[in-house]
Amino acid sequence: MKNPQPLPTVRDLRGNVITPTDLPSPTTVRWTFNKKAIVVCAVRGGLVTLEHVLDRFHMTEKEFSIWEEGLKNDGSQGLKVTHFQRRRRAKRAGPGAPKQ
């Protein structure tokens, strides 16, 4: 009998090891930046597949990519709703518009 492959060691933003049991509940309604970060880190680190996350949380690939881009560009602040709102407003206003 073959031994199953060990899960990769994946860490959250605080450096804590993430396991599949650390993923948010599939019925999560309130998405804090930390829950989003755990999901993004789990996918990036190979702990779960993107397909699994999209199915488990009933989300689109575009939504996940927004989270991933926010984390990559701005760290945990990039996952906050207010940050998304500011970025959206800035895109609508166009270049040269005053930042809020």
- Is 1.10.10.10 the CATH number for 10-93? yes
Nearest to 18 by CA among 26, 4, 31, 8: 8
Rg of the chain over all Cα atoms, to the nearest angstrom: 16
The domain locations on the chain are 10-93
Q: What is the pLDDT of residues 8-39, one digit of tens each?
A: 899 998 999 999 999 999 999 999 999 999 99
Q: What is the pLDDT of residues 35-94, one digit of tens each?
A: 999 999 999 999 999 999 999 999 999 999 999 999 999 888 888 877 666 666 776 776
Per-residue confidence at 5, pLDDT binned at 50, 70, 90? confident
